[in-house]
Each structure stands twice: as structure tokens, then as C-alpha cells.
Amino acid sequence: MSVMTRVDVNKVAIQLWIGTNTSSDDEYLQYFEEHETDLLDFVTPSCLFCADIGELNYMPKRLVVPQRYLTVQQIEHVLNDIAVNEEEKPKINERCKALGITSANAVFWYINNDVVLDLEVQQPYKDSYNGLKYIGEFNANTRYPLVPYDPTSNSHLWIGTTYEPADEFNTYFELDYSEEDMDSPNYKICGFCKDTGNIWYDEDFIGYPDHLKEEVDIGTLVDELIDSDLDCREQIVNACHELGITKANAVIWYTAESKYDSEFTLHKPYKDSYNGLKYVGVFKF
């Protein structure tokens, strides 16, 4: 697990599809409908659109699917209805010609203006996405506002001292992938899940960098293992001191506000030890 870094992204673009679809209105829109299921397997795409682009899900509010034209239109007419920077339209026209598209009755696009939620169409590109072709990504900053990227998030934080070898320390976080069903009596709940009161956690939202060889002051620990430019640095130091922790060599953090991991909850009462560390609280970093 690596030290956290800050990202600066200011790009707004749309991913664009154009083509001809002759199915019924219901069939056309069904392509974008996410199926509802209680099973969160992180493997199965939520709809046909996601399956085609190589993603598990998408943000419906950022997908623009205009009503199809009653008749097939020349590409020049279709371009007029696409919310994209004007200087991009000739590029779209050229790309359509290269793909052999001179007319169409349908167009849709996805707005990428938030790096955390942006989609990427996986290659190789398919010949058909609901009858349409993928045209590419085009600048659209004049049409859509940029969602400011805040790389920080509210995260649970544990701090303490351990001298366990890294392999033994990391065993605490090992999830059981040998069982497909977490309700199976053979499914083994990891130590981190047991202590926090969960049966599973998302490995994308956890951090437990290699602990230091020796104890250091809490401020130094934060600087070395989390980020040397934290606004909440003093809050963390003070919270540790209130718990009687003045020196330590290890940290664990877990994102507390992810839209994609609403299942994780840190249950009370808090334990005295989480793999040898104490729970300090929730901080924004």
C-alpha cells in the first residue's frame, strides 16, 4: 500500500457514439437500463452498455441519450445537436467519415467531468454499441461545468505500534476469494472485517503502508506514511494524544464515504486493538 498523493485534473470531455438503430423505443433504451440485484459481485456489468464499454456501472445523470430522429439524417445535421465544443465538430465529422458513417438516426454521449467517476471505453472497440459506433472522446468544457476534483475523503484512521513482520501484519487484511458466496459456511472472514463488524471490505479503499522500523512522534508518522501536507494533521496528533499515543510506527486507513462501498460500517463498541493499532477517528485526507 502506497502513500497517498494529490491529483490535479481539469479536463471536461464527452465520449460519443453515432449510428443507426431500427429497434423499438423500448428495446433501444433497454440497452442502458441497469438491472437491479441484491448481489454485489464486482464482476457482472450492470447493463448491456456497461458490458460493451468494459465497465461495471455508470452514472445515469452523466449519460445523454437524445430521442432518436424520425428519419435518418445527414451527419452534418446530427452534429448540430451534440453538446460539444464547436471546434470539435469538424473532428467528429472527419472521424465519422473514416468509420464510413455519412448518416444516422441516433446519437448518445457520456460526460466525463469528474476524474473520480470518469468512464473509459475499453479497447478493442466493438463494431456496434446498440447499433451505433464509438466515435471517440472530444473536448466539451464550454458545454459542461468541471466538477472540482477533491482527492481527499473522510477516512477511518487507526494508529499504533507493531513489530510484526510485514507478511504476518498483512494477513490480517486477507480476503477469502476461494468461496463465491459470502453466505457460505466455509467463507472465512478476515481479521480486519471481524474487528470492524463486517464480512467484506473493498481493497480499493484501504491503506496500510509498510510500518516503520522504529516508533516516531505522531506528526512525523503522519508525514511519512500518509501525507506531509494534511490540513487535519494537528487534529490527528491531538486525537492520538488524548488516547495516550505519543509515538507509533504504523497506520491503517479506510475510506468512510464511498458511493461504491456503502456496505462497510465501523461497528461500536470500538475494540482496544485492530491488528495492534487503536482506532483514532474519522479525518479528511
What's the pLDDT tens digit per position in 177-233? 998 889 899 999 999 999 999 999 989 899 999 999 999 999 999 999 999 889 999
Q: What integer pLDDT is reported at residue 147 of this predicted model?
A: 80
| 65 contacts 130 by C-beta, under 8 angstroms | no
Whether pLDDT at 256 is above 90: no
Residue 279: pLDDT over 70: yes
- Give SS3 for 197: coil
Least confident of 36-40, 65-69, 119-123, 191-195: 36-40
pLDDT reading at 259 higher than 70: no
Q: How confident is the model at residue 77 (pLDDT cuts 50, 70, 90)?
A: very high
Q: What is the pLDDT of residues 101-111, one digit of tens each?
A: 999 999 999 99
| Amino acid 258: pLDDT | 55
Predicted confidence (pLDDT) at residue 1 exceeds the cutoff of 50: no
Q: Does residue 116 or residue 8 have the better pLDDT?
A: 116
What residue spans of the chain are helical by DSSP H? 25-30, 48-53, 75-79, 89-98, 166-171, 191-196, 218-225, 233-242
| Average of per-residue pLDDT across 16-37 | 93
Q: What is the DSSP letter of 194?
A: H
Where does the pLDDT of residue 4 fall: very low under 50, low under 70, confident under 90, or very high at 90 and above? very low
Task: Answer whether 65's CB lies under 8 Å from 108's CB.
Answer: yes
DSSP label of 87: G
Q: What whole-number distance in Å separates Cα of residue 126 and Cα of residue 132? A: 10
High-pLDDT (> 70) share of the chain, %: 91
Query: What integer best gives the mean pLDDT of the chain?
Result: 91
CA distance 135 to 95: 6
Q: Per-residue pLDDT for 34 more than 80?
A: yes
Contacts (Cβ under 8 Å, ≥6 apart) of 154? 255, 256, 257, 282, 283, 284
Quote the pLDDT of residue 149.
64
Q: Is the dihedral of CA 84, 85, 89, 92 positive or negative?
A: negative
The answer to whether 146 touches 12, Cβ cutoff 8 Å, is yes
pLDDT beyond 50 at 134: yes
Helix extents (H) in 139-281: 166-171, 191-196, 218-225, 233-242
Short-list 223, 234, 211, CA closest to 160: 211
Least confident range of 111-115, 234-238, 269-273: 111-115
Which neighbouring-strand residues pair with 155? 255, 283
pLDDT at 37: 55
Number of neighbours of residue 71 by Cβ within 10 angstroms? 7
**Mean pLDDT computed over 67-85:** 97
Residue 108: CB atoms within 10 A of its CB come to 24
What is the signed CA dihedral for 201, 205, 210, 216, rounded to 10 degrees? -110
